[in-house]
Chains A and B, each alone.
Chain A
């Protein structure tokens, strides 16, 4: 199963690398987002209790989550193209476990997103953020976990779709709000009560916590924090749930209508 998943994931990666415009777009877009919003909102960002934090710095993990979210989802929805182009049918009739099909796509998506986000991590020292080796490791673990969850979510949503055009609607009304309400752009402290409830129920908010924490404390401190552990649990549960649903969707075969026994 691992070999199959690895082989399918490598295919995703090779295809990504061979499309330079996709590589540039994927890295440049969040970078511009970060620089423009960071510069523009910097002057007016004065949340209580975060006096020493510039907006550029506050927004930094939020952009990482954005990269993970969109890069992994965009690569896992290529399952729609695979079905359209015919590649998928050949995989489905092969003697491989359905989980390997899901994992191949998801791992490929995570790998692609990781390349971008790890490059982006190189900006940390310029913000005055330093990472110990342990924190860096926890950051990478955070990337992998959130990427798995997002890529599996994309897979799950894309599987029954006939064309990528339907996905744009989902993107705007569902995925974009998930990110907007994650705390990437503004902190949860100081929002109205109803918004606070929505943000706490949003798995992307917990993914953001998992990615933000390593910048502000060593692993020992993170594991002592109830909030971090809760967010970590939500992120893991989210990834597992999306993977299980995806696998069930792949395993389901179209079934003929029942007929009265002759």
Chain B
């Protein structure tokens, strides 16, 4: 449904800065009806790719086909079948919910507006607030207006750019639940960028990019298999010092990520005895130690070799309680 073929995007340099490659021969294929999450550290090229996919920028080289249309030769055709939810709100907050939907319906040439509007609002919690201005709504409700607006046109392909940024965990979950349900009901193809790995667990496939390249693209389960079946995670007082000693004194393959030490390639069942041995020898230096089933966040850390971006931290704890 979305076919990206050796796409390259280079930002032209200025007098002070040289040209910068944001996307480097990237190929990615999203199948019909799939829910794909695109993830990567800041500056990995996600946003540039998103701008190209919604037709706001032209790449340096490469091809993109959406629903069988060439995105660069037939942008008008592609716009007909694609719905876009941006990270920053694309509604007029001085207008009411109904007025915003009305404009959107006009933009997409929808005839039976009243019926479509009621259908689009049916799954939301916006009932009764149709005449309220958008800037009087909570962040979660405003996001629902955004999604309701885009889904009103029945897009075959939905592109979302970090749509849950700024939402509290409950609103986030509600937004995703609604999105997931509608995606299945309508057989929509969804490509969504996200930093939040709890969201990625719901996806059919997850793409991880860094420095404009695709590093991994597979189902969440297959990605988790990239690292062992179990892992021991230690939070010591001095990560580098203890890692050295674990390597030298116990012969263990350990990796340091920030203030954590990880033993990633641990076979199932080996984790507990290993944990006990480590605890016996180094107890005074250890703040916490745990056995963990790898989650997508751990895959991300493993694949990109960078710590998780800053603003993903608030939800990291949530996700961890779910996977421990």
- Measuring CB to CB, which residues of chain A are less than 8 angstroms from any residue of chain B? 3-4, 6-8, 11, 14-15, 18, 85-87, 89-96, 253-259, 261-262
Contacts and interface: CB of A to CB of B under 8 A. Distances in A.
B12 interface: yes
13 contacts: A18-B94, A85-B93, A90-B84, A90-B107, A91-B107, A93-B82, A254-B56, A256-B12, A256-B61, A257-B13, A257-B19, A262-B6, A262-B8
Contacts of B56: 89, 92-93, 253-254
B198 interface: no
Given A4-B107, A96-B107, A87 B92 contact: yes
B95 A3 contact: no
Contact of B94 (A15, A255, A261): A15
B92 A11 contact: yes
A259 B61 contact: yes
B248 to A, nearest CB: 46
A14 B93 contact: no
Given A8-B103, A94-B108, A258 B55 contact: no
Nearest to A87: B92
B132 interface: no
Interface in B1-48: 6, 8-13, 19, 22, 25
B67 to A, nearest CB: 13
Contact of B109 (A3, A86, A256): A3
A1 to B, nearest CB: 10
A68 to B, nearest CB: 24
For chain B, what secondary structure do more than half of its interface residues adopt (helix, strand, loop), or is it mixed? Answer: mixed
A22 B25 CA distance: 51
A254 B58 contact: yes
Contact of A253 (B55, B80, B108): B55
Given A95-B79, A253-B57, A259-B10, A86 B99 contact: no
Interface string B242-280: 000000000000000000000000000000000000000
Contact of B90 (A3, A86, A256): A86
A258 B54 CA distance: 20
Contact of A95 (B9, B22, B76, B90): B76
A95 B84 CA distance: 12
Contacts of A256: 8-12, 22, 57-61
Interface of B: 6, 8-13, 19, 22, 25, 51, 54-61, 76, 79-80, 82, 84, 86, 88-95, 99, 102-104, 106-109, 149
A86 B165 CA distance: 15
Given A7-B103, A85-B88, A86-B88, 13 more contacts: A7-B106, A18-B94, A85-B93, A89-B56, A90-B104, A95-B76, A254-B57, A255-B58, A256-B10, A256-B57, A257-B10, A259-B10, A259-B60
Contacts of B84: 89-90, 93
B11 A89 contact: no
Contacts, number: 103
A94 B25 contact: no
A227 to B, nearest CB: 42
Contacts of A92: 55-56
A11 to B, nearest CB: 6
Contacts of A8: 103
B8 A259 contact: yes
B54 A93 contact: yes
Nearest to A19: B94
Contacts of A85: 88-89, 92-93
A64 B296 CA distance: 65
Contacts of A15: 92, 94-95
A86 B9 CA distance: 23
Nearest to A254: B57
B58 A94 contact: no
Contacts of A87: 90-92
Contacts of A11: 92, 95, 99, 103
A100 B44 CA distance: 35
Q: 7 tightest CB-CB pairs across the interface, nearest first?
A: A90-B90, A256-B60, A7-B106, A95-B79, A94-B107, A257-B12, A86-B88
Given A14-B99, A86-B88, A89-B86, A255 B108 contact: no
Contacts of A257: 10-13, 19, 60
A183 B109 CA distance: 45
Given A257-B11, A258-B60, A259-B10, A94 B99 contact: no
